[in-house]
Structure 1
Amino acid sequence: MSLEPDAREVNSRLPHDIERTIFETAIFMHPTCAPSLLQTARRVQSWIEPLVFKTLVLSGRNVDAHLWAALFTKPPAFFAQHTRHVFVGKGLPDDDVQLVVSRCAAAESFVFEAKWRPTTFPDIWRLPQLQRLTLSFRLVRIAAVPGPGSGPAILPNLTHLTLYPAHQTDAESTGRYLAFLAALPRLTHLCVCMVQDEGFLHHILNQCPRLQVLLHVFDAGMYTREDYIRDMAALHDPRCVLLDLTRHYLDWTEWALQDWRLAAAGGVELLARAARFVAGKNGSPEGRLEFLWEDPHRPPEDSDALPVGESVDGASV
């Protein structure tokens, strides 16, 4: 019996360029289907792998087996070539996170979940293309940041940084925060969350000469809305923006994840929207020092959690 396919069967197949478009569209619209689509055929795998691995969400409890195997089996150059955005969730051992960092050497954005509590922080300081970084104040405190004179500038292309809770006000912690910020040669957009120290905000503005936007996001509690407004008003700086995200419950990790997803997809994320607010008020002499901002895309007032997207525990590639 001949193993040659029937001529009618061959002619009934879609052209490869149309097939490829279908699979690429499926990945874009339904990213959680990626692992199963990778098993479809070798040609499909070659088409969609660069898309699948461009943006990685890694959480210790639910990292997809195919993804985790790829981190260990694919050549290091594969992730350096294709991966641009990485979210690191809680539950990953320190060594595994360092492996991810070393594999994704050309990443443009990294987010380290607020609840991730490693004993050591991975060596991200020489990533040449990293432009956006989100991490907690705690991680800055434990990080071994290379000091001046120890080599090339750290994170030479980092322009956007978000530091989320919890900020500590003791002198040692403040010194670590400021040394880290001062060491970033191209930092232009900074978001800090729930800083209850007016003096620290003053130091940021003084030590970051390239800074264009200082966005302060808060969820009021014992330190009230009026306290945050008072501290920001004392700065008298047109670069300052204050955003009230007070909720019954605000999940900082979910908030950061959704904003990171938006930026990775080419959307107008939080710091870009804040920059537009700063640019708009700078065009009005009487409004230059206004800082209270009502972000039109912030979570709705009556929500206990962020309204869109999956939770980080359900995230996948």
Structure 2
Amino acid sequence: MDPEPRLPPELEQEIFQIAAQDPESILNLLLVARRVHQWVEPYLYRVIQVSNSPRLSAFLRAMADRNPPFLAAGPRSVFFEAVPECTEALGQEILAKCPNITRIGLTVNFGGPVALAALAKLHHLQYLTASIFRLFPLAEMDGRHRAFARITHFSILDNPRSTEEEDAIFAVIPDLPVLTHVCFLLLARRRSAQIRRLLQMCSRLEILLLCRFNAADVYAEGYPTAKEEPRIVWAVTRTAYETVWTDWLRGAYGLVDVWQLAEERVQARLRGEGDVEGESPEWIVEDWETWPTLHDW
């Protein structure tokens, strides 16, 4: 009988890598043994916030020192914060060296043709949170750009201020080839007619998430009811930057986020439950007060 029975290495590796998906456990796992350190270290960089932080500094050292397989096994989600440290050159480098990214959040420092070219090379990118106007000039918006080829979930940061801007955004969305989930994060003006038209044009769309700073009588504004159009979900965002990006981080870490809540709302309606017969929709309130927040890392 083996005095020190051990699991097969492949099974042991799988167990530790599953455990490493909990960010609060990974630092302890790194200390277990050398082989465990090698297995789980890439998980330390699964979510990258490009900001002024020791965590980013550690990742940049790893990016400079490690081989391509390590970087391919690491980052899956990258948030380019609105800070001076987030430069265009750094954004290009991160996306070029980390090919398996699935989720990206863009703010003011990384956009335009440079960002589009970098996004187009990511063959696993599905979740994008960004301003369309910071990616394209108004007259050149292109939903069929290669950067959007695999995007299924698009959270749009723009709040159009003119009819021209409004028409441009609503025109580009149907052209995204595999899009199933759209979120307007800063919906201030009444756009019920455009929303109805968008849903008619996008039969593959599963969820249209509409956010405002306060709940309102949206049925009185002409928006479809939950029974008429179960794909529309309404949410309240308490503060724009903090709430949006805290929710983004929750999704990146595999926690409950607004997309999951919206999915549950739509599924309940399809079963004839929830607010499907209500005189007003039930609003999701994005008011996250638990980990993670923007300042945890």
The Cα shift of 1:309 comes to 2.0
Aligned match for 2:102, one of 105, 108, 128: 108
Q: State yes or no: 1:293 paired with 2:282.
A: yes
The Cα shift of 1:211 comes to 0.5
- Which letter maps to 1:213? I
- Which letter maps to 2:263? A
The Cα shift of 1:265 comes to 3.6
The Cα shift of 1:125 comes to 3.0
The Cα shift of 1:225 comes to 2.5
The Cα shift of 1:234 comes to 8.2
Structure 2 vs 1, CA of residues 26 and 99 (structure 1 numbering), >3 Å: closer, same or farther?
A: closer
Report what 1:79 is aligned to: 71
Q: Deviations over 1:164-189 (max 9, x none)?
A: 3x411324423442354223211111
Report what 1:57 is aligned to: 49
The Cα shift of 1:288 comes to 6.6
Task: Measure the CA separation in 2 of the matches of 1:313 and 1:29.
Answer: 15
Q: State yes or no: 1:307 paired with 2:289.
A: yes
Report what 2:131 is aligned to: 136
Q: State yes or no: 1:48 paired with 2:40.
A: yes
Deviation larger for 259-268 or 271-280: 259-268
Q: Deviations over 1:99-135 (max 9, x none)?
A: 112222221111224xx34463513134221121112
Aligned match for 1:177, one of 160, 165, 169: 169
Task: Measure the CA separation in 2 of the matches of 1:38 and 1:53.
Answer: 13
Kindly indicate whether the alpha-carbon contact (under 8 Å) linking 1:60 and 1:90 is maintained by their aligned counterparts in 2: no
Structure 2 vs 1, CA of residues 271 and 231 (structure 1 numbering), >3 Å: closer, same or farther?
A: farther
Q: State yes or no: 1:127 paired with 2:116.
A: no
- Which letter maps to 1:161? F
Task: Measure the CA separation in 2 of the matches of 1:278 and 1:229.
Answer: 21
Structure 1: which 5+ runs fail to align? 1-10, 300-305
Q: Deviations over 1:6-38 (max 9, x none)?
A: xxxxx99x9998x9878985883526x84x986
Q: How does 1:236-247 map to 2 (within 5 A)?
A: 237-245=229-237
SS in 2 for 1:232: coil
Report what 1:4 is aligned to: none
Q: How does 1:237-276 map to 2 (within 5 A)?
A: 237-245=229-237, 250-276=238-264
Structure 2: which 5+ runs fail to align? none
Aligned match for 1:225, one of 209, 213, 216: 216
SS in 2 for 1:182: helix
Report what 2:209 is aligned to: 215
The Cα shift of 1:219 comes to 0.1
Q: State yes or no: 1:156 paired with 2:149.
A: yes
Aligned match for 1:93, one of 74, 79, 87: 87
Structure 2 vs 1, CA of residues 105 and 185 (structure 1 numbering), >3 Å: closer, same or farther?
A: same
The Cα shift of 1:158 comes to 1.9
The Cα shift of 1:162 comes to 1.3
Specify the structure having the higher radius of gyration (Cα).
1
The Cα shift of 1:77 comes to 4.1
Q: State yes or no: 1:201 paired with 2:195.
A: yes
Task: Measure the CA separation in 2 of the matches of 1:26 and 1:82.
Answer: 12
TM-score, normalising length: structure 1: 0.70
Task: Measure the CA separation in 2 of the matches of 1:78 and 1:48.
Answer: 10
- Which letter maps to 2:130? L
The Cα shift of 1:95 comes to 1.2
Report what 1:30 is aligned to: 24
Kindly indicate whether the alpha-carbon contact (under 8 Å) linking 1:241 and 1:291 is maintained by their aligned counterparts in 2: no
Aligned CA RMSD, in angstroms, stands at 4.0
- Which letter maps to 1:230? E
The Cα shift of 1:61 comes to 5.3
Task: Measure the CA separation in 2 of the matches of 1:172 and 1:178.
Answer: 10
